[in-house]
Structure 1
Amino acid sequence: MYDQIFDWLKEHRITEVECIVPDISGVARGKILPKDKFISEPEMRLPEAVLLQTVTGEFPDVGIMDMTDPDMELRPDVDSLRIVPWATDPTAQLVFDCFSSDGIPVETAPRTVLRRVLKLYEELGYTPVVAPEMEFYLVSPNPDPDIPLIPPVGRTGRSEFGRRSYAIDAVNEFDPLFEEIYDYCHAQNLEVDTLIHEVGAAQMEINFLHGDALDLADQVFLFKRTVREAAFNHKMYATFMAKPMEGEPGSAMHIHQSLTCNKTGKNAFSNEDGSPSEIFFYFIAGLQKYLPEAMPFFAPYVNSFRRLTKYTAAPTNVEWGYDNRTVGLRVPRSSPQGRRVENRLPGVDCNPYLVLACSLACGLLGIQQKLQPSAPNSSNAYELPFQFPVTPEESIDRLRACTEIQEILGKRFVEMYIGIKESEIAEYFRVISPWERKFLLLYV
């Protein structure tokens, strides 16, 4: 494995290597090494605490955290080796897996969590196939976090206003940026497909081609960084916050999911005659039952809940239906071989490894328990009752009580994740917002 990596580094005349470990928040942690040092000393270690930081860089007060802070052994995944196209000097990036000193995968590492779920599918004879859709906003540079975000200036010299959903000209406003994004993605073998303008002002969506879940998680992880870097080059920000601007819709990470039967190589969601299979209905039922219980993985921050309100193009329940975008679980129109389920719940602020792991885990529980879904909904599901937790605290309480999700994802991992989310919530509530100063300072 190392020889293959070393040969690639020499062939591409690499001078530096970014050694990356995705943490629980989806942040790229790790080290940057000169190529010669990486080749001469390839063994790498980092403390497990690197994985377990809040999004603000703090550590949770969790009893099962090892206070001796032992090192993990890092092993590179050769399939993740890519160029860093925006670097000044020839630079490579390489994603690492985490192991304990005795060679056991570290259960709090997001890649380990996803691998764990994929292994359970393999034991049943299936391989998940996924295709993420990534929504994000372009905004003007915003160095002062107390100032609200505004859309950036495009080639016309004006900031975007109003609704420009699917407008070609609105995308063309930022052609130089998107040409660079596609060039960067091509250089990294990120298999992006369609680009559209979404509903919000300067809100965009880029879709990925379907494929292996771990590979797509890596691609999404690198894609977020890629878009941000390209935006910096064009004097704007790209944000993957779930709800960055008041009065504008939130940004989602819709996940299309299906299963391939390992024996036949065919879509397990379809029977030989083209009709939906039992596995298809089990999978939907699992999502219906467990998505509300696993909400912290689909809405990981306080801001995430601002997106999940009625009439904002975000789901409010676990209804499912054929070609119905008002439900949480949409089955797009397709051939039998293309039959899939679109999970419309996750925000784009999710950790891609964990959101794929948890969405697939919910479907797996439905298969294991042979659950039956509700009848498909063909009406406006926004008119139906809200079915998700309405606060981060409620979502954490429900995850803590859901032993089935904990068993699939790993009990220690879930406990650590809950600790991190509780620490973030506590820190959020220490901040006094402009709304409070505006309306409460002199009037109550």
Structure 2
Amino acid sequence: MKSQMKAKAKRKKAFSKRGVSSVEDAHEWLSSQGIEEIECLIPDLAGVARGKIMPAKKFLNAPYMNLPLAVFYQTITGDYPDLEGVVGTVQSDTDIFLRPDFNTLSVVPWAHDPTAQVIHDAFHPDGRPVEESPRQVLRRVLGYYEAKGWQPVIAPELEFYLVEKNIDPDYPLKPPIGRSGRPETGRQGYSISAVNEFDALFEDMYEYCEAQGLEIDTLIHE
């Protein structure tokens, strides 16, 4: 038991709190974490993180970048739909400007090298927000709520499967091997022991979510 507690204590890392309020604070935050690279992100319409990676020094000296507007029109498979004749769609693949939201600055705890990420907002060259940007869409929706004096509250439930590593898409997925050394052979809904089979994985999940400022409520096995 003592060795397990020591192992968990060793695994625990100290991360700075997510988000800062200014470029000056970002300088100090990145320096204190020894950050070498920055992932500059925007979500596309399918929720996939798109963007660029740049050295931290370059990001601090000029924390702005460009991407093509078409990045918002990619499908979940990375393809582009046929938008010809659709009202309100892009007529030319122009560049957009991305401005970092420093409130989203956080470490990337699973990266091998000291890395941070920050979510950006998208703007046209004339300063107008890009209306296709999911963050801008969300702002409009929040504006509708605010106009009525309402405050939306959400509690997302994320579901996922744990599977054995598989590098060949022609082979079917298999249940993973837990700490008992045996794969799960049947359904074990709400089983605590089934969750405990993968303690190390879930310890990482808790640590990573804490580092990124994500609150976790409960964890169950269905």
Range class of TM-score, shorter chain: 0.7 to 0.9
Give the match for residue 159 of structure 1: 183
1:29 aligns with 2:53: no
Matched, 1:136 2:157: no
Q: Equivalents in 2 of 1:48, 1:145: separation in Å?
A: 32
Q: Trace 1:146-185 onto structure 2 (pairs within 5 A).
A: 146-185=170-209
- The amino acid that maps onto 1:81 is L
**SS of 2:172's equivalent?**
coil
Matched, 1:119 2:143: yes
From 76, 96, 114, the counterpart of 1:55: 76
Partner secondary structure for residue 159 of structure 2: strand
Which amino acid is the alignment partner of residue 61 of structure 2? S
CA offset at residue 191 of structure 1?
0.7
Alignment partner, residue 87 of structure 1: 111
Does residue 2 (structure 1) correspond to residue 23 (structure 2)? The answer is: yes
- Structure 1: gaps spanning 5 or more residues: 199-444
| Deviations 1:176-205, CA, capped at 9 Å, x for gaps | 11111111111222111211111xxxxxxx
SS at match of 1:33: strand
Equivalent residue number for residue 194 of structure 1:
218
CA distance in 1: counterparts of 2:48 and 2:204, whole angstroms: 23
Say if 2:64 and 2:100, in contact at 8 Å, map to a contact too. Answer: no
Per-residue Cα deviation, 1:237-275 (whole angstroms, up to 9, x for no partner): xxxxxxxxxxxxxxxxxxxxxxxxxxxxxxxxxxxxxxx
Cα distance in 2 between the residues matched to 1:135 and 1:114: 23
User: Alpha-carbon deviation of 1:22?
Assistant: 0.8
Gaps of 5+ in 2: 1-21
Alignment of 1:294-333 (within 5 A): none
Q: How many residues matched?
A: 198
State the Cα deviation string for residues 335-377 of structure 1 (Å, max 9, x = none): xxxxxxxxxxxxxxxxxxxxxxxxxxxxxxxxxxxxxxxxxxx
Q: Which residue of 1 aligns with 2:16?
A: none
Partner of residue 43, structure 1? 64
Task: Please say if residues 45 and 133 of structure 2, whose CA atoms lie closer than 8 Å, have aligned partners that are also in contact.
Answer: yes
Q: CA RMSD in A?
A: 1.4
TM-score normalised by the chain length of structure 2: 0.84
Query: Cα distance, 1:67 vs. partner?
Result: 4.3
Moved over 3 A (4+): none
1:14 Cα offset (Å): 1.2
Matches of 2:40 and 2:27 in 1, distance apart? Answer: 14
d(CA) in 2 for partners of 1:38 and 1:129? Answer: 34
- Distance in structure 1 (CA, Å) of the matches to 2:133 and 2:186: 42
Tell me the distance in 2 between the aligned counterparts of 1:5 and 1:71. 26
**Alignment partner, residue 72 of structure 1:** 96
Indicate yes or no: 2:39 matched with 1:15: no
Q: Relative contact order (C-alpha < 8 Å, sep 6+): which is higher?
A: 2
Instruction: Map 1:330-409; keep pairs closer than 5 Å.
Output: none
Shift of 1:86: 1.4
The alignment partner of 1:192 has SS state of coil
2:63 and 2:100 in contact (8 A); partners too: no
Q: Map 1:404-443 to 2 at 5 A.
A: none
Does the 8 Å contact 2:63/2:99 carry over to 1? no
Distance in 2 (CA, whole Å) between partners of 1:174 and 1:150 is 15
Distance in 2 (CA, whole Å) between partners of 1:6 and 1:127 is 33
Indicate the structure with greater helix content: 1
Scaled by the length of structure 1, the TM-score of the pair is 0.43
Between the aligned partners of 1:103 and 1:127, the Cα distance in structure 2 is: 28
